[in-house]
Amino acid sequence: MSWPHVPLSADPAAFPTNPPADLSDPAVIAAHDQASFDAVERMVDHWDRPGWTAQTRAYYWMLTFPDHPVLAGLARCCQQHLAPHGLDPVPDDGLHITLARIGSAATLPLSRLDQVINAATRLLPTAFRLQAVPLAGSRGAVRLTVAPWNPVLALHAALSESMTSLGLTPGKPTALFRPHLSLAYNNRPRPAPPVIKAVTALRDLPAVDLHVQDVQLVELRREDRAYRWDVIKSVPLG
């Protein structure tokens, strides 16, 4: 399928700051992600996020992969190699691609979520396939590149449009969205080169195919140093 081109913007707060030159070519996207991570000098504590507490609950649109043994196997292989660096590994049932924040569970009643789901259902694109490509990172995590970006951007744009129609503001506009799938979170400030060196040794691992057939609306929380969630609704793609 030919996906619409979604223009992306440079943003110093996004990672990578600049989007790749080609949003459809996995090799170009992977090389761009890797080069961007290779240029990081210091990593930051992923969990140092003002406003998040053990009691925080928020609704998000996410892609989750609870029953994907090949993806889980790739994640465990990478996590074992990275274990000497003391990162916080993402558990098998915690692998995900974050799409869009909907709002706080403290302010959005469940009845409002029915409207969110109905609005999104009318706009969702068709199912698509991705590759999870080893291996890159950001200032706060080690992560798999996902490619191509175009179908994920189309999904993000549809979800954003559906929320805007209800007067909700997506956490991030599509122009600043950078799809990725985290494997391990960095938990303290540190020099980046030792982690980059470990990641570089894993870049020849084979990519994993992902068939994205639905999108999940979840209630997200943090438990210790991991993200956990309850699925409110899994909505099939068109």
CATH code where residue 142 lies: 3.90.1140.10
Q: Give domain status of residue 170, yes or no.
A: yes
* 166-179 pLDDT, tens digit each: 999 888 899 999 99
* 58-84 pLDDT, tens digit each: 999 999 999 899 999 999 999 999 999
- Specify whether the CB–CB gap between 235 and 217 falls below 8 A: yes
56-to-43, 95, 172, 213 alpha-carbon distances in Å: 25, 20, 19, 29
Rounded CA-CA distance 25/27 in Å is 6
- Specify whether the CB–CB gap between 51 and 222 falls below 8 A: no
The total domain count for the chain is 1
Rounded CA-CA distance 138/32 in Å is 12
> Given a cut of 80, is residue 1 above it in pLDDT?
no
Whole-prediction pTM: 0.96
Residue 14: pLDDT band by 50, 70, 90 thresholds?
very high
Q: Give domain status of residue 48, yes or no.
A: no
Q: Give domain status of residue 3, yes or no.
A: no
Return the pLDDT at 169: 87
Q: Residue 145 is part of which domain span? A: 56-236
Return the pLDDT at 88: 98
Q: Give domain status of residue 24, yes or no.
A: no
Return the pLDDT at 3: 77
Return the pLDDT at 64: 98
Return the pLDDT at 51: 82
Q: Give domain status of residue 146, yes or no.
A: yes
- Specify whether the CB–CB gap between 217 and 233 falls below 8 A: yes
